[in-house]
Amino acid sequence: MLRTILLGPPGAGKGTQAVRIVEKYNIPHISTGDIFRENIKNGTELGKRAKAYMDKGELVPDDLVIEIATTRLLEDDCKDGFLLDGFPRTVYQAEKLDEFLKAHDSKLDIVIDLEVGEEELMRRITGRRVCKNCGATYHVVNFPPAVEGKCDKCGGELIQRDDDNEETAKNRISVYKDQTEPLIGYYEKSGNIVHVDGSISPENTFDQIVKAVD
Ligand code: ADP
Ligand code: ZN
């Protein structure tokens, strides 16, 4: 049983660590960004509303995100824990999440804050490539695929996320600083937060997370 939030700026490696954490602790991975991208891909109304914000690097409006996240948390597989990745992203979202958990006799066990410096964030984001087919992520320098433009796992085409261009990435980082970073103080006051170095290798970062969680 582990109820946790992964906090950190865009490019900190939340997605990479999330995959490892959910496997080790056997909990569902709830990524609001993934939910929106899935909806965009399927051309849903929700996807259309979210895309306008995402393409600019802005946040999707709180009420929409809160509705999506809490609906997901009500599903059966979240009874024994969950990993929230990319939610909450504003103090208002965090307050609403607290209210939701309280109403369901639940609470967070730990908040994991991934720390990475700004220059490294830009390098990671703009070099990131994702498989169109299975969602696996690569990096043109740090973690290139065996064959350029092709996914090692499934052979799918590798593309750059619409919001991973330099201009949008810069805006996402500044939106993070304005609206999401205050959450660190929020969770420092209310509970259990650990700060983990996200600039080292993914393996070492994961080791630190496991140590903190256990
Ligand atoms: P990142 O790599 O920036 O952490 P995500 O995949 O988590 O990216 O999110 C991509 C985009 O989806 C964000 O820039 C934002 O527009 C939208 N989004 C995702 N989660 C939230 C949230 N909790 N609140 C508002 N917008 C969100
Ligand atoms: Zn693939």
Q: Output the CA torsion 135→130→208→25 (10° steps).
A: 0
pLDDT tens-digit series, residues 76-107: 999 999 999 999 999 999 999 999 999 999 99
pLDDT tens-digit series, residues 144-198: 999 999 999 999 999 999 999 999 999 999 999 999 999 999 999 987 899 999 9
Give 159's strand partners: 130
Q: Taking ligand 2, which is a single-atom ion, which protein residues have CB atoms under 5 Å away?
A: 131, 133-134, 136, 151, 153-154, 156
Pocket test for ligand 1, best of 172, 176, 178 (most atoms within 8 A of CB): 172
AA identity, residue 45: E
179/181 Cα distance (integer angstroms): 6
Residue 58: phi and psi, rounded to 5, are -85, 165
Give 84's strand partners: 5, 30
What pLDDT does residue 155 have?
97
